[in-house]
Amino acid sequence: MRSLLEAIRSGDNAGPLSAHDAFALADLPAEELSPLLKAAAAVRDRAFGRTLTFSPKVFLPLTNLCRNRCDYCSFRKSPGQEGEWTMTPEEVAETVTRARHAGCIEALFCLGDKPEGAFSAYRQTLAAFGHNSTVDYLYRAGCDALNLGLLPHTNAGVLEAQEMEQLKRVNVSLGLMLENVSPRLCAPGMPHHKAPDKRPERRIRMIENAGKLKIPFTTGILLGIGETRRERVESLLAIVDLHRQYGHIQEVIIQNFRARPDIAMATAPEPDDYEIAHSVAMARLILDRDVSVQAPPNLNPGGTALLLSAGINDWGGISPVTPDYINPRHPWPHLDMLRAQVESLGYQLAPRLPVYDRYLDMEGYIDPSLREPIARAKARLSRSPGAAIHIEQAHLEAAV
């Protein structure tokens, strides 16, 4: 395989890995990791140049109620449980306004799966807001974010096609982590056993429907939840198949599990540097070259050099005004520090929109009503590329 990796690195073999070659590299020993990383980094440089991007965002956990019970999740709550929170429309507007003043571009709506199907108390909350469903409330929140100057991106768990069609009118992109295609992880004793919306076929169907609807889409895999390296490769290949059918996958997140108290997997081992670097590099070599590879910097606070060497080109969303509510023990990096680290390695750091530029010119991918808000957001980025979002970052870290 070393000769294959050398050919990829030199550009003599520039195409994505075949399934055969990907599985052959799945169990590459640690002492042979270097050629894999060099090949992945070369592919990244050819496809994306020397610029790493991020999305200046505000994180809006519309509700942390969720009908799933994943063994690695500390975000989900049930009604009456300490920490339960459903944002009011007033809280959404206040947070978005503060984010707009801090220089944010993206309004990330992230929430639990299908809470109205599980909790009558939540249905009463929705009714008090004037809505019959979470998707209706998300539509309203998206309208409010647009009116206040931010571009919505929503990750609401598994959605039906008609729900995505509705949200497409007020979102520039949608997302759903595939996590893993292995049904083994849904068996008794495994992390997805009590999570009906984590069944691989349901998640694949949603990603496929998003492609049919021409929705720019973000997905990804989770590392360290009991999966094998071969299952990671199978998951990446499933994403490749969907993208080649529809062309809608804009970025793939390689997200590593972090242990924390009060979860079923509190004592589970975290992925080590080898597992993280190997998975990032495999993603870069397996995915088509127009798909970004992303890794969360707050889950890898000392891993900037490692992740760059493995081929990432994007850091995902970074917020100056809100914590990562999914991983609150892991604060976002200061942009000045991240920029200095990136530049010391010979790269540049630049903000981007929550929808990738190529979709702006592709027929049917952007609702006509979103053209003007997108143009205004692009103008803001060009006038002040990330400088404004330093304003509240020190305050945020102190709060966390």
187-213 pLDDT, tens digit per residue, is: 999 999 999 999 999 999 999 999 999
CB atoms under 10 Å from CB of 21, counted, come to 17
How many beta carbons lie within 10 A of that of residue 80, not counting itself?
8
Let me know: does 219 contact 173? Beta carbons within 8 Å: no
Q: Answer for the pair 177, 221: CB distance below 8 angstroms, yes or no.
A: yes
Pairing of strands 348-351, 314-318: unpaired
CATH topology of domain 2-54+175-399: TIM Barrel (3.20.20)
- Dist. CA 89–CA 41, nearest whole Å: 44
CA–CA separation, 70 and 326 (whole Å): 13
Question: pLDDT, tens digit, for every residue of 288-311?
Answer: 999 999 999 999 999 999 999 999
pLDDT at 392: 43
Average pLDDT, the chain: 94
pLDDT surpasses 90 at 267: yes
pLDDT in tens, 15-27: 899 999 999 999 9
pLDDT confidence band for 390 (50 / 70 / 90)? very low
Tokens of 302: 């000392």
Q: Does the pLDDT at position 391 exceed 70?
A: no
Angle CA(369)–CA(370)–CA(375) in degrees, nearest 5? 125
* pLDDT tens track for 340-362: 999 999 999 999 999 999 999 99
- pLDDT interval class at 384 (50, 70, 90): low
Q: Are 280 and 232 in contact (CB under 8 A)?
A: no
Phi, psi of 192 (to 5 degrees): -105, 10
Task: Looking at the chain, list the stretches that DSSP marks H as alpha helix, in order from N- to C-terminal side.
Answer: 2-10, 19-25, 33-48, 89-101, 120-129, 134-147, 161-168, 200-212, 229-246, 273-286, 304-310, 335-344, 371-383, 393-399
Taking residue 197's Cβ as centre, other Cβ atoms within 10 Å add up to: 18
Among residues 130, 48, 89, 132, the alpha carbon closest in space to that of 311 is found at: 48
pLDDT digits (tens, 9 = 90+) for 89-104: 999 999 999 999 999 9
Question: Average pLDDT, stretch 370-376?
Answer: 97
